[in-house]
């Protein structure tokens, strides 16, 4: 099988799931490549994955740095209400339309040209990348969705018309297979589909930092992260002092990740000894030892929490995060607060409530067991190979 994976050029869209799938397919003897912007070449090379460059697909950093480029692709210049963390009304719909509009057009044009010489048997895309869907439908190539963002399906009213207009017909946007990466019970009833199947990610677990090995054993461990992409957006870093103040009130051992942006430590001149601010953490490994995860509720972070069986306090901002946070609360996996208005006291109270109620840990453990019962990526590779043979 010749398997072509398509993704937006974003670290958190590639590393947690797209690259593990690529490596699993390679280990099974299939020919695999990831098609995305040229800026991801170094990252993909690090993991030993072949890269097919889509020359017209813009890099996310370039879109933010170059307003004219962002305008050309329909991306909004401002995401938050100035001076706050409140998302502007309609801004996510505008972003979704940009992904399914000019960005999808450009990626699809590049992919059709790629298909002329690479000749994929199956195209698998992630939910924010619609060019793979358009190209596969135009070429008559079987396609599937690697569902790294289940709540993105709620964007369909915004994007379906754009995609169907480009094809001149309706088509199955999720493809012949929707490969979920959390148990099916995570999906609300309205997002469950006949072509849906769940699989279990088993990425390598990195070593935790040596300093974490000597944390005290007489208090809970709380891991806090707003993700790498979110902390690159203007204004989000203003949440960090509030989080430190909340953790100080909580009386726990806490690890606060800066998402690979060590310069943000300058915003935190007075950090209590119980709060360990780190530029980057081996999050998946550390979560397996944690009692609570305070998160922006990006789906990658939520999936890692489910895999670790750890409850959450969710502080969503935009994109699929509010939907993920709502689902965590609905399933009893944690509590949800408004990231735009939550105070240090409210965050501390929510953390204390989750830590004090063992039901959150029990329900997180039950969801973890469901995930552990799902088949691994080797089965997904076999299912994609069967799709290629249809």
Average pLDDT, the chain: 90
Select from 324, 316, 301, 323 the least CA-distant residue to 223.
301
Same domain, 128 and 230: no
Question: To which H or E segment does residue 234 belong?
Answer: none
Kindly state the average pLDDT of the residues 173-186: 92
Domain membership of residue 282 as a residue range = 210-372
Residue 235 falls inside a structural domain: yes
Same domain, 64 and 149: yes
Same domain, 117 and 161: yes
**pLDDT at position 85:** 64
Lowest mean pLDDT among 85-94, 151-160, 180-189: 85-94
Measured between alpha carbons, how far is 325 from 316 in angstroms, rounded to an integer?
6
383: pLDDT strictly greater than 90: yes
Same domain, 185 and 275: no
Same domain, 36 and 83: yes
Same domain, 194 and 219: no
Number of domain units in the chain: 2
The fraction of the chain above a pLDDT of 70, given in percent, is 97
* Neighbouring-strand partners of residue 179: 146, 197
Residue 322 falls inside a structural domain: yes
Residue 205 falls inside a structural domain: no
Measured between alpha carbons, how far is 131 from 122 in angstroms, rounded to an integer?
14
Lowest mean pLDDT among 13-17, 66-70, 371-375: 66-70
Task: Give one DSSP letter per residue of 249-262, joined into a string.
Answer: HHTSEEEEE-TT-G
Helices (H), the chain: 11-13, 19-27, 41-46, 60-65, 67-72, 91-100, 102-118, 131-139, 156-167, 239-250, 283-287, 299-308, 321-330, 344-356, 358-373, 377-389
Same domain, 174 and 310: no
Residue 55 falls inside a structural domain: yes
Residue 120 falls inside a structural domain: yes
Same domain, 257 and 145: no
Same domain, 342 and 361: yes
Question: To which H or E segment does residue 221 belong?
Answer: strand 221-225
Question: Do 73 and 103 form a contact (C-beta atoms < 8 A)?
Answer: yes
> pLDDT digits over 230-244, tens only?
767 777 778 889 999
Kindly state the average pLDDT of the residues 196-225: 87
List Cβ neighbours of 295 (8 Å cut-off, separation of 6 or more).
224, 225, 226, 227, 301, 302, 305, 312, 313, 314, 315
Residue 102 falls inside a structural domain: yes
Same domain, 182 and 260: no
**pLDDT at position 270:** 86
Confidence of residue 205 (pLDDT cuts 50, 70, 90): low
CATH number of domain containing 47: 3.40.50.2000
Same domain, 317 and 193: no
Same domain, 85 and 140: yes
Kindly state the average pLDDT of the residues 32-50: 96
Residue 323 falls inside a structural domain: yes
């Amino acid at each position: 099988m010749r398997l072509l994976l398509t993704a937006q050029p974003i670290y958190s869209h590639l590393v947690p799931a797209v690259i593990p799938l690529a490596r699993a397919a390679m280990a099974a003897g299939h020919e695999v490549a990831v098609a995305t912007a040229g800026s991801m070449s170094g990252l993909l090379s690090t993991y030993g994955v072949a890269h097919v460059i889509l020359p017209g697909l813009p890099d996310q950093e370039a879109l933010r740095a170059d307003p004219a480029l962002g305008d050309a692709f329909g991306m909004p210049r401002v995401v938050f209400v100035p001076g706050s963390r409140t998302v502007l009304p309609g801004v996510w719909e505008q972003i979704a339309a940009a992904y399914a509009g000019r960005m999808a057009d450009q990626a699809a044009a590049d992919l059709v040209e790629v298909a002329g010489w690479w000749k994929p048997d199956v195209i698998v895309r992630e939910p924010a990348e619609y060019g793979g869907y358009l190209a596969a439908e135009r070429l008559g190539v079987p396609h599937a969705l690697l569902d790294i963002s289940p709540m993105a399906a709620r964007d369909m009213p915004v994007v379906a018309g754009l995609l169907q207009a480009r094809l001149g017909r309706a088509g199955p946007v999720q493809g012949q297979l929707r490969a979920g990466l959390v148990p099916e019970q995570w999906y609300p009833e309205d997002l469950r589909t006949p072509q849906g199947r769940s699989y279990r990610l088993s990425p390598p677990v990195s070593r935790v930092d040596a300093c974490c090995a000597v944390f005290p054993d007489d208090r809970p461990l709380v891991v806090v992260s707003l993700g790498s992409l979110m902390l690159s957006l203007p204004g989000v870093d203003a949440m960090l002092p509030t989080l430190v103040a909340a953790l100080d009130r909580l009386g726990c051992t806490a690890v606060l990740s800066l998402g690979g942006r060590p310069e943000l430590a300058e915003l935190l001149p007075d950090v209590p000894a119980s709060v360990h601010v780190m530029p980057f953490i081996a999050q998946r490994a550390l979560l397996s030892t944690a009692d609570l995860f305070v998160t922006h509720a990006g789906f990658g972070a939520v999936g890692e929490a489910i895999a670790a069986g750890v409850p959450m306090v969710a502080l969503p901002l935009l994109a699929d995060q509010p939907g993920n946070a709502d689902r965590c609360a609905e399933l009893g996996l944690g509590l949800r607060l408004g990231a735009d208005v939550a105070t240090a006291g409210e965050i501390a109270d929510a953390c204390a409530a989750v830590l004090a109620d063992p039901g959150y840990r029990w329900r997180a453990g039950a969801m973890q067991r469901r995930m552990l019962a799902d088949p691994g990526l080797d089965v997904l590779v076999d299912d994609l190979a069967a799709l290629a043979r249809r």
